[in-house]
Chain A
Amino acid sequence: MRRATSDPKPMRYLLIGLVFAFITVFLIFPVVVIMLEALRNGLGFYWESLSATHSLTAIRLTLLVALAVVPMNTLFGISAAWAVTHFQFRGKALLISLIEIPLWVSPVVGGLVFALIFGKLGWLGGWLETHQIQILFAYPGIVLGTAFVTFPFVARGLIPLMQSQGSAEEEAALTLGANSWQLFWRVTFPKIKWGVLYGMILCNARAMGEFGAVSVVAGSIQDRITIPLQIEQYYLGLDQGLPRAFALASILLFLSLVTLAIKVGLEWRRLAPNIVRPH
């Protein structure tokens, strides 16, 4: 028996085959190539590439950037979702759309905006220079650029989640004498914690992999660049640059796979019945 909506057999196999072919060529193949290329010159070279000063600095900087950006955007995301779901105000729909701007705008443009504000010839450039504050081509600039790009990740997931949950439990907590702090930590947060974690993971993955925005605000000064930029440097450079680039790329790949594993784990957990157990 065939369901009325299902296509004839050849069509089905063709489509399924296409999807698999597509995934193989565009997703699996590159991953395999990265690993093979990274290990082409042997494990010794691989290890040496990763422990090279440039690589280590890039890894360290990338982790530091993620460490600043993820909490920042988590805090922002929760606040934004809370504001949008608990208050009535004019321009709410507009605000929800505005949050998504970084998803629509090219990261390079985002980076350029910061360059325009903080650069030497930018709006705040003169003032920053007289006060000897370095933002562009330094850690603060990279954090800003990355934060811009990853801005919507937590908020975007939480808003529909919190909207669907409504505020009945919050109202009940209020009538029982809970203040705002208790309300959030005892009632709201337990309901959204998996959503928050999910958003943080996506935000983290994107933060570590961001290239466009960071390349504008970080320039190309060695020792002040993140993993993706260092990969480019290796790639463009001579002296066995390519295998080094692949070695460092494998680190990003590894981080992505870990992220993916956690994400799948979370989704499985969320879909499993009775996931929320009493403490």
Chain B
Amino acid sequence: MEAAGSQHRPAPLIFMSVEVKHISKKFGTFPALYEVSLQVQTGELLALLGPSGSGKTTLLRVIAGLEIPDAGQVFFENEEVTEKSAYERRAGFVFQQYALFQHMNVFENIAFGLRVLPGKKRPGAEAITARVTELLRLIQLEGYEKRLPSQLSGGQRQRVALARSLAIEPRVLLLDEPFGALDARVRKDLRKWLRHFHDQTHLTSLFVTHDQDEAFELADRVVIFNQGRIQQIGAPAELRQNPQNDFVREFLDV
């Protein structure tokens, strides 16, 4: 998969930074996030790392607009989007279980975000075909247009989910445990592919993982979560050399 994207650069996009300020969120009485603040630089690839239930996925969903925080603000670049719904934010989101539309083939899945654009902005049939074909090439699934999600392997589904989220030219890409459900080999390949894709495009990206190696191998910076709070933020080397508290030290086993 290494060669992906080398000949085919996606159209130039406008990327943006993401900032969250003092986000708190409770589910019933369970505090999923507490006073979380975080800045993601434009073009950065950032990992949210932590044990399950630590709040990392909730933060990702808050950024996408899929969860409404009890308190705090979300900014895309300098624009506050806290009150905006998910469909207005249009953040590219890749779900853990892919969430592909089961009744649509690969082509229609990827084209979905273009087909639902309001009349004036909606590209014509030819433009849609061109864009989908370009994305299929990017994820190396040319010729799979007519397949249904149920006829694809896990890795293929994951790539289709990625292409679908990229079709709308999102300003930020959010990935929830993107490789969680895949076997080790496919995982490694996709990891390399994602890093490569990011180096090519510099699309501001956040991904959630509970796998330390994955976070450290892929990300520019890693955010360590525990019990709804950020424990430490830093580049992989920095975290290893200078863990700030006992949790980070134990979690990273240094």
Which chain A residues have a beta carbon within 8 Å of chain B's beta carbons?
168-169, 171-179, 182, 186-187, 190-191, 274, 276-278
Q: Which of B86, B92, B108, B112 contacts A171, CB < 8 Å?
A: B86
Do A168 and B99 touch (CB < 8 A)?
yes
Does any Cβ of A come within 8 Å of B146's Cβ? yes
A190→B115 CA distance, assembly (Å): 16
Taking CB atoms, residues of chain A closer than 8 Å to B104 are: 278
Taking CB atoms, residues of chain A closer than 8 Å to B117 are: 177
Q: Which of B86, B91, B100, B103 contacts A190, CB < 8 Å?
A: B103
Closest to A181 in B: B116
Contact mask for chain B residues 73-94; partner A; CB cutoff 8 A; 1 contact, 0 none: 0000000000001111111110
Contact mask for chain B residues 118-160; partner A; CB cutoff 8 A; 1 contact, 0 none: 0000000000000000000000000000101010000000000
Do A175 and B93 touch (CB < 8 A)?
yes
The prevalent SS among residues of B at the interface is: loop
Do B101 and A169 touch (CB < 8 A)?
yes
Taking CB atoms, residues of chain A closer than 8 Å to B6 are: none
Closest to B146 in A: A278
Do A176 and B116 touch (CB < 8 A)?
yes
15 contacts between A and B (CB under 8 A): A168-B95, A169-B101, A171-B66, A171-B99, A172-B99, A175-B66, A175-B86, A175-B89, A176-B112, A176-B113, A176-B116, A177-B90, A177-B113, A182-B116, A278-B103
**In the complex, how many residues of chain B place their beta carbon closer than 8 angstroms to a beta carbon of chain A?**
34
Which chain B residues have a beta carbon within 8 Å of chain A's beta carbons?
64-66, 85-93, 95, 97, 99-105, 108, 112-113, 115-117, 146, 148, 150, 164-165, 167-168
Taking CB atoms, residues of chain B closer than 8 Å to A187 are: 101
A274→B165 CA distance, assembly (Å): 25
A191→B90 CA distance, assembly (Å): 23
Query: Looking at A173, A175, A276, which has the most chain B CB atoms within 10 Å of its CB?
Result: A175
Do B87 and A175 touch (CB < 8 A)?
yes
Q: Which of A177, A186, A274, A276 contacts B87, CB < 8 Å?
A: A177
The prevalent SS among residues of A at the interface is: helix
Do A175 and B92 touch (CB < 8 A)?
yes
Q: Which of A173, A178, A278 contacts B148, CB < 8 Å?
A: A278
Closest to A180 in B: B87
Taking CB atoms, residues of chain A closer than 8 Å to B101 are: 169, 172-173, 187
A190→B102 CA distance, assembly (Å): 10
Closest to B115 in A: A186
Taking CB atoms, residues of chain B closer than 8 Å to A190 are: 103
A182→B119 CA distance, assembly (Å): 13
